[in-house]
Amino acid sequence: MEYVIIVIAALLVNNVVLTQFLGICPFLGVSGKINTSVGMGAAVIFVMSLANLVTYLIQRYLLIPLHIEFMQTISFILIIAFLVQVVEIILKKVNPALYQALGIYLPLITTNCAVLGVTLLAVKNNFNLLESVVYGASMAAGFTLALILMAGIREQLDLMNVPKAMKGFPVSLLLAGLLAMAFWGFSGIV
Amino acid sequence: MSKLSYFTNGLLKENPTFVMVLGTCPTLAVTTSAFNGIGMGLATTFVLTSSNLLISLLRNLIPDKVRIPSFIVIIATFVTIVDLVMKAFLPDLYQALGIFIPLIVVNCIIMGRAEAFAQKNTPLPAILDGLGMGTGFTVALTLLASIREILGNGSIFNVRLVSESASTILIFILAPGAFITYGYMVALVNIIKKKLSL
């Protein structure tokens, strides 16, 4: 039951993009087409789950016993950068087809503040190992959901007549605002 | 290019928030009140200026291949300093900004200036560039936060403008209001830039 609550809370109620404001850059940058959004989403789900697993172990067995919690920011960001590299290398060898599909999105994830943000939030929430991983995966799934919704709307938007000053970034922000309003409706279910 | 233009570049022409549209996450997340906006802006300015200076000083020592990890370590070091100082001296602001303090590490403005400017320039222009970009970011955040605080809470810098019982447009301090206010501000800056033909 606890896990169901974690999943619903992370996916809808505290959606990482639309209520927590994490990962806005890829959200606005990559959400042009549905296909690319799915690719990016898959890569983020994979890396975020893995990052939460590893950062949990580092926090629990390295930073806390040694009383060097202030090294959290530096160690977490380096771990994420390292993980992305490792995933890229392994995927290239083991599953070239998937690597081809995710290719360009993998390096972008290092600078996705959602990954670092979610690992920090997991530590803040005092989750255990399994909860951390579930939390990471569902936050990433929430990111994917928002990305795909946005891409669907933006594909339609290309056909519309948008005022010149509003073209591109401003109109995307207004759309995100409307989506955030819709997601606001989920607050209070858990 | 005169020395001053390194500084003024970040204010309007290449304003990181409204023109380059970088560092959007903190821009949307912490601008619920003018104090939070200015606090975040100043913290980022400190990190940006310090990392610009250090990267500029070390630019001939850091091998090209490992420059990104080196930049990350340098930036993360200054972020940790801000984190600890703010926790000690400004606990209320530290609480309000939450995880967005450690997240200054992944603010693309800082990495962007390190890569595009600091590693190619001498220390003085690097400092001026950091200060200019930081000021542009701080002004933008404060502006955005003030609008949201006035509309959503009926106050500015915690000074009440309307009576306690008056109803305000609450949505402006909630998540949707952040996106909408920011969207209109970028559109407005687009128009201003065009009028001034910058």
Mutate to test the interface with B, among A13, A21, A75, A110 (most CBs of B within 10 A): A21
CA distances to B21, B104, B181 from B32, in Å: 19, 18, 11
pLDDT of A169? 86
Look at residue A68 and tell me whether its pLDDT is greater than 70: yes
The token pair that represents B92 in the structure block: 């209320």
Label residue B115 by pLDDT band (50, 70, 90): confident
**Which ipTM value was assigned to this complex?**
0.85
Helices (H), chain A: 2-8, 24-29, 34-58, 72-94, 96-102, 105-109, 113-124, 129-157, 169-184
Question: What are the residue boundaries of the structural domains of chain B, listed by start?
Answer: 3-195
Per-residue pLDDT tens over the stretch A154-190: 888 888 888 888 888 899 999 999 999 999 888 877 7
Closest partner residue to A70 (CB to CB) among B73, B80, B103 is B80
- pLDDT exceeds 80 at position A110: no
Please state the rounded mean pLDDT for residues B108-120. 89
pLDDT, tens digit, for every residue of A15-66?
888 988 898 888 887 777 788 788 888 888 988 999 999 999 999 999 989 9
* End-to-end Cα spacing for chain A: 12
Q: Which range among A17-21, A140-144, B3-7, B113-117 has the greatest average pLDDT?
A: A140-144
Instruction: Give ∠ CA A76-A73-B33 in degrees, rounded to 5.
Output: 125
Of A22, A73, A184, the CB nearest to B102: A73
Taking an 8 Å cut-off on Cβ atoms, the answer to whether A170 and B72 are in contact is no
